[in-house]
């Protein structure tokens, strides 16, 4: 079945440093979604990418979808303490409502 690998598993940064998490799928995806889960909370949708090579920005967050639609990345510029949490990518296959989640990257930020 479809597998989505995400690295790194953990990342600790100083406030103000940049952060990137990467996602790779074993199969071509129809779309990829990103979620953020704060400590003790539940996942919250951030964004969806659909097109090959697509790049989207949300303030300090930049999301990319690879040309082959098998990989994606989330980059945060100048991290803040409010960025703390686990970031998950989730790949959509042929039936676009079912997602396969990566294991997530836990980001901690030292003020």
Partner 1 sequence: DGGITQSPKYLFRKEGQNVTLSCEQNLNHDAMYWYRQDPGQGLRLIYYSQIVNDFQKGDIAEGYSVSREKKESFPLTVTSAQKNPTAFYLCASSHLAGDMNEQFFGPGTRLTVL
85 binds partner 1 (CB under 8 A): no
Among 8, 9, 26, 57, binds partner 1 (CB under 8 A): 9
d(CA 16, CA 49): 26
Candidate segments 16-24, 35-43, 59-67, 68-76, binder of partner 1 by CB under 8 A: 35-43
Q: What is the DSSP string of 35-85?
A: EEE-TTS--EEEEEE-STT-EEEETTEEEEE-TTSSEEEEEESS--GGG-E
Report the first-to-last Cα separation within the chain, whole angstroms: 41
Nearer to partner 1, 85 or 104 (CB): 104
25 binds partner 1 (CB under 8 A): no
87 binds partner 1 (CB under 8 A): no
Candidate segments 18-26, 63-71, 76-84, 88-96, binder of partner 1 by CB under 8 A: 88-96
Q: Which residues, in sequence order, are CB contacts of 26 under 8 Å at separation 6+?
A: 2, 3, 4, 5, 70
Whether the Cβ atoms of residue 75 and residue 50 lie closer than 8 Å to each other: no
65 binds partner 1 (CB under 8 A): no
Residue 73 tokens read as: 């990345």
Candidate segments 15-23, 52-60, 70-78, 90-98, binder of partner 1 by CB under 8 A: 90-98
- Give least dist CB 97 to partner 1, A: 5
């Amino acid at each position: 079945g479809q597998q989505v690998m995400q690295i790194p598993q953990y990342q600790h940064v100083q406030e103000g440093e940049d952060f990137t998490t990467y996602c790779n799928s074993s199969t071509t995806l129809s779309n990829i979604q990103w979620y953020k889960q704060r400590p003790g909370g539940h996942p919250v949708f951030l964004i969806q990418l659909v097109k090959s090579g697509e790049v989207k920005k949300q303030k300090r967050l930049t999301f990319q979808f690879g040309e082959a639609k098998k990989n994606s990345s989330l980059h945060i510029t100048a991290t803040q303490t409010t960025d703390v949490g686990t970031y998950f990518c989730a790949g959509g296959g042929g039936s676009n409502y079912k997602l396969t989640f990566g294991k997530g990257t836990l980001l901690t930020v030292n003020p």
